[in-house]
Amino acid sequence: MDIHRLILRKISLPLRSPFVTHQGKLHERSVIIIEVSDHQGLKGYGEVSAFSTPFYTAETIETAWHVLRDIILPHLDVQHIQEPGDFVRITSFIQGNQMAKAGLEGALWDLCAKQSNVSLAKLIGGTRASVKAGAVLSLSDSITEDINRMRQSGYERYKLKVEKGKERDKIKQIQSVEPNLGIMIDANGMYREEDLDYLIALDDLGLLMIEQPFEPGDFYLHKLAQEQMNTPICLDESITSLHDAKQAIELGSCQVINIKVCRVGGLTAALNIHDHCQSNGLPVWCGGMVETGIAKAHNLALASLPNFTIPGDLSSSDRYFYRDVLKEPIEVKDGQISVPAENGIGVSVDESYLDQITVQSYTWEWE
């Protein structure tokens, strides 16, 4: 690959409304946008989707900035990068920091696809021209109003952020309005071992799945719950690598896996997890992180792969932001989002707006 310049941009976007989970509240979304360009001027974009505080994973925007600027870039010999997977090998000496790695690798994947004159979806073996959209509803959302509005756009799957002890009431409230709505709940690891019987008692609600009920990395309690429930357990934060996915499948800890590119360390790892789950008959879906259109475009390419059979956290550009960083927004039409077919991630970044909302930048060049 021809790689000449890299620019890190820390940006901040105000949210339309606060995004609330039992772990915390977001009023604005700060991310790192990574731009990698070659000597001909082609640009690839990636996104570091860590949060400002370590409530989801141990990484934050500040730690990712440090790892990228002070550790990865000084050690990155681009002459040894022939394709994006080489980046994974070169940075394997760095433990963890999956989101920092994923953001830079994502920019390399976009640039590689553009240099190859193909869409990212085609480059990685995507088979769908469009994917089904899925909505995420935070604790601050006006549930009934939001569901009615999103149903008009054709959303089929709804993921609810919930509070312990209030799950049943919230689900019953929705089901009283829309009895046949496809609902799942996202626990973000809030249950403990003493809650096992309580969790199992939610089995009668007929949910599509329960996502990450127990703490990240606890395959044992998830196994106990799945053995006693018909409702599929889906793992999210517990899956940070292909090895984690293999453990979960071998132990019977889940029936579904949520693949987030940023959480597993990049697209290379996401592809490997997809393939392993497919070969073992385990369906997957693509998770989201309240991200900009750049990360959404990467997610759409990933979700075009054949084993992504469940609608993911894939929504329109205006779901969270008044204005996204793309010139043309990503839109949901009849419950579907088109997978970009242009070269690379297939979307045009609004560079002038990106400059306006940049609060910090850093540039690195190679010969």
Taking only the tens place, the pLDDT of each residue in 72-104 is 999 999 999 999 999 999 999 999 999 999 999
Residue 140 has pLDDT above 80, yes or no: no
Q: Which of 186, 221, 176 is nearest to 200 (CA)?
A: 221
Question: What's the pLDDT score for residue 172?
Answer: 84
The domains of the chain, with CATH numbers, are 5-117+349-365 (3.30.390.10), 122-338 (3.20.20.120)
Residue 4 has pLDDT above 80, yes or no: yes
Residue range 286-311, pLDDT digits in tens: 999 999 999 999 999 999 999 999 99
Residue range 162-218, pLDDT digits in tens: 889 989 988 888 887 778 888 899 999 999 999 999 999 999 999 999 999 999 999
Confidence of residue 255 (pLDDT cuts 50, 70, 90): very high
Residue range 47-79, pLDDT digits in tens: 999 999 998 899 999 999 999 999 999 999 999
What's the rounded Cα separation, in Å, for the pair 364 and 342?
27
Residue 22 has pLDDT above 60, yes or no: no
Average pLDDT over residues 281-289: 96
The listed range with the strongest mean pLDDT (139-148, 177-186, 260-269) is 260-269
Question: What's the pLDDT score for residue 201?
Answer: 96
Question: What's the pLDDT score for residue 153?
Answer: 84
What's the rounded Cα separation, in Å, for the pair 165 and 175?
17
> Which residues carry out catalysis?
161, 260
What's the rounded Cα separation, in Å, for the pair 274 and 16?
33
* Residue that has been written with the tokens 């959209």 in this structure: 133
